[in-house]
Amino acid sequence: MTSIRYVIMRRSVCCINPSVARAGQISTWKFLYSPVDDLPKKTKLKFDLGSQGRPIDWEAPSVNLKQPKNTIYLETHKGDILEAVPVSLPKSQTPQYEFTLPYELEAGETLAIVLGPSPEYPQLDENGNGAQLFTQRRKLFYLYVDPTGKGNYDEPDIFSMDIRGNILKHIQIFTPSYVIKNKRFDITIRFEDEFNNLTNFSPENTRIELSYEHLRENLNWQLFIPETGFVILPNLYFNEPGIYRIQLKNLLTKEIFVSSPIKCFSETAPNLMWGLLHGESERVDSEENIEACLRHFRDDCALNFYASSSFENQEGLNTDLWKMITQAITDFNEEDRFVTLPGLQYWGEDPSEGVRHILYVKENKSGSKHKDCKIPSLSKLYKSVSPHEIISIPCFTAAKTYECNFQNFHPDLERVVEIYNAWGCSERTEKEGNPFPIKGAVSETASGTLIQALRNNLRFGFVAGGLDDRGIYKNLFDENQYQYTPGLTAIICNKYNRESLVEALYNRRCYATTGARIILSFDITSAPMGSELSTVTKPGLTVNRHISGYVAGTTQIKTVEIIRNGEVLKTFHPQSNNFDYEYDDMEPLATVTLPDPKGKQPFVFYYLRVTQVDQSMAWSSPIWIDLH
């Protein structure tokens, strides 16, 4: 008879008190450790927070017990207090913390590593240590043990705890921006704490009332906060065309939360898609954790599209990682749900190149023809592709050192330019009225402003970028560079898929915002933004340019400016959230055109600039008129 022998592996006991944290919670955290074997005198213990040192990560404690708040120390089983020695790590802003046992710790006895107030001061939670600002299932902490005391550490013992959402602070309402009368649509409601984490942490009697403009009186919807922290409401529809906003009222606190505007059309409507072509998340790495990054932007941020934007020469980006990124981009690209595009950033030190975000809009081009995803030069790349294979987006063009002077502009490939990202706006200089100047260690230069390029008859639409701390942006966090809100790009396309989105981008049917989902339209004689008009086909333009459109803001609109040739032609002061506008530019066209530097037909360009009372802004893509 065969006997079966069971081997029971004994493990050290690791637990945390309290065992659950709320995001951003200030408290005293005790990491209790009972070793499976005796630990002799002079054993070294090294504690690792598992932090990347970002502002959103677990707060790094001080080893100085003379300070009353946010310290770290070890309390032995005998009640003695041991001070920590910080151990710096390469490429990490947060150290590990090392302790040396002054005497033996027998198996089963318990020591505690404490993060909180100094033991020499009152033990108040408000003087404690701060948890990370984002939720996480099984956040890990590590304890390395070296019984020899020589710094030879083996695999660590692991503590884990769940980080949950904190108290309900605000409610996000994600809706489509364009809908059709009597056609049903869904909305997503996210109940969030002050750090934008999903949460259901609120009083039990919390009720949320839903309403919107023109709501029938017999409809009264009340919502509970679900355990998941979010809910999808299906089958909403509007009976009449117009601008709507979903409103939620917390009946307990009387707080009111309002969605971004929704424009309801009578019969047919294109898709207004919001997304990010250039940018990444502060929370989720966009290279090694590309799938989590894509889920974050798709599900948490409710974006309609996203493009990867690693720098082609950044450390760690190799062929295998690039393949993984492009494969994830392919897997997540889903019609009518989420459009994804592979892209790489390139920086050429020659000002004629500057920083470019290369979008590979044909799937077979996404791997690039270059080994290890390197781009040897912009000129070689451009020679190797044809129009509609890539879209090359100049970025951060007005930043000194990284500027693009547009000397070698390729209109077939460079269809749009980034007017704004979280590090500043390249439309114009601060002296010319730019409220988001590139300012700090990296300053602005007029040679890279978009108005100057437009005055030289270069034709491109506007897109906006988000946050970026890779490549040329890597050190800006530590150099007192002015930082602004991450921007968004709006693309107006016929279908919700990659092909239609790329076509709309190529045709410049897009606009940029500083992050608010402002709806705008900008037409000249019914031609939409991005159009090129001519007096040959529309001779009446020599006499009158009829400019019209509408704006629907996320809050009150401060100004709506029609820009002609880089100067303000007309300013409206709506003092409301919605605004329809019309203006006839009846100055003779020949008196307002600009000369083409290459001797072609004189031209004029117009675009719309919107500013809200909260300083959020939007810029339409321009419209050009050639005088023949």
98, part of any domain: yes
Is residue 17 domain-shared with residue 151, that is, in the same domain? yes
The pLDDT value recorded for residue 216 is: 60
Question: What gap in Å lies between CA 533 and CA 305, rounded to an integer?
Answer: 30
Domain boundary among 143, 164, 185: 164
- Per-residue pLDDT, averaged over 39-66, amounts to 95
Rounded to the nearest integer, the mean pLDDT of the chain is 93
- Total domains in the chain come to 4
Contacts of 302 (CB under 8 A, 6+ apart): 174, 188, 274
The pLDDT value recorded for residue 10 is: 58
Q: Predicted confidence band at 374 (pLDDT cuts at 50, 70, 90)?
A: confident
Write out the residue range of the structural domain in which residue 192 sits: 170-269
- Per-residue pLDDT, averaged over 267-288, amounts to 93
617, part of any domain: yes
Question: What gap in Å lies between CA 379 and CA 297, rounded to an integer?
Answer: 33
- Per-residue pLDDT, averaged over 60-68, amounts to 96
Cα distances from 510 to residues 362, 467, 491, in angstroms, run 20, 20, 4
Is residue 93 domain-shared with residue 138, that is, in the same domain? yes
302, part of any domain: yes
502, part of any domain: yes
pLDDT tens per residue, range 221-251? 899 999 999 999 999 999 999 999 999 999 9
% of the chain at pLDDT higher than 70: 96
The pLDDT value recorded for residue 370 is: 38
The pLDDT value recorded for residue 214 is: 66
Q: Is the pLDDT of residue 507 over 60?
A: yes
Question: What gap in Å lies between CA 110 and CA 255, rounded to an integer?
Answer: 48
Is residue 596 domain-shared with residue 469, that is, in the same domain? no
Is residue 428 domain-shared with residue 568, that is, in the same domain? no
Q: Predicted confidence band at 376 (pLDDT cuts at 50, 70, 90)?
A: confident
* Main-chain phi, psi angles of 133, to 5 degrees: -95, 5
CA dihedral 357, 360, 366, 367 (to 10 degrees): -50
The pLDDT value recorded for residue 540 is: 96
- Per-residue pLDDT, averaged over 280-291, amounts to 89
Judge residue 8's burial from the number of C-beta atoms within 10 Å of its C-beta, 0-12 exposed, 13-18 middle, 19 or more buried: exposed
301, part of any domain: yes
Cα 328–Cα 510–Cα 586 angle in degrees, nearest 5: 175
**Reduced to 3 states, what is the DSSP secondary structure of residue 183?**
coil
Is residue 528 domain-shared with residue 465, that is, in the same domain? no
Cα(first)–Cα(last) distance of the chain, in Å?
A: 102
The pLDDT value recorded for residue 218 is: 54
Is residue 379 domain-shared with residue 334, that is, in the same domain? yes
- Per-residue pLDDT, averaged over 554-572, amounts to 98
Is residue 507 domain-shared with residue 523, that is, in the same domain? no
Domain boundary among 222, 242, 269: 269
Is residue 566 domain-shared with residue 419, that is, in the same domain? no
Q: Report the candidate in 154, 149, 153, 140 with the shortest Cα–Cα distance to residue 14.
A: 140
Domain boundary among 465, 485, 513: 513
- Per-residue pLDDT, averaged over 27-42, amounts to 96
Judge residue 24's burial from the number of C-beta atoms within 10 Å of its C-beta, 0-12 exposed, 13-18 middle, 19 or more buried: buried
The pLDDT value recorded for residue 497 is: 97
- Per-residue pLDDT, averaged over 195-219, amounts to 85
Q: Note whether 533 and 625 are within 8 A (CB).
A: yes
2, part of any domain: no
Q: Which helix (H) or strand (E) holds 503?
A: helix 498-506
Contacts of 457 (CB under 8 A, 6+ apart): 594, 596, 597, 598, 600, 603
Is residue 402 domain-shared with residue 480, that is, in the same domain? yes
Contacts of 359 (CB under 8 A, 6+ apart): 277, 307, 341, 342, 343, 390, 391, 392, 393, 502
Give the dihedral sign, CA 313/316/322/327: negative
- Per-residue pLDDT, averaged over 52-59, amounts to 92
Q: Is the pLDDT of residue 626 over 90?
A: yes
The pLDDT value recorded for residue 363 is: 65
- Per-residue pLDDT, averaged over 549-557, amounts to 98
- What is the value of pTM for the model shown? 0.91
CATH number for the domain that contains residue 27: 2.60.40
Q: Is the pLDDT of residue 7 over 70?
A: no
- Where is pLDDT greater, at 374 or 302? 302
CATH number for the domain that contains residue 230: 2.60.40.1930
194, part of any domain: yes
Q: Which helix (H) or strand (E) holds 74?
A: strand 71-75
Is residue 25 domain-shared with residue 118, that is, in the same domain? yes
What letter would DSSP give residue 331?
A: H
Contacts of 290 (CB under 8 A, 6+ apart): 308, 324, 325, 328, 329
598, part of any domain: yes
Is residue 181 domain-shared with residue 37, that is, in the same domain? no
The pLDDT value recorded for residue 601 is: 95
Q: Is the pLDDT of residue 365 over 60?
A: no
Is residue 472 domain-shared with residue 578, that is, in the same domain? no
Cα distances from 491 to residues 214, 233, 459, 561, 581, in angstroms, run 28, 25, 17, 21, 21
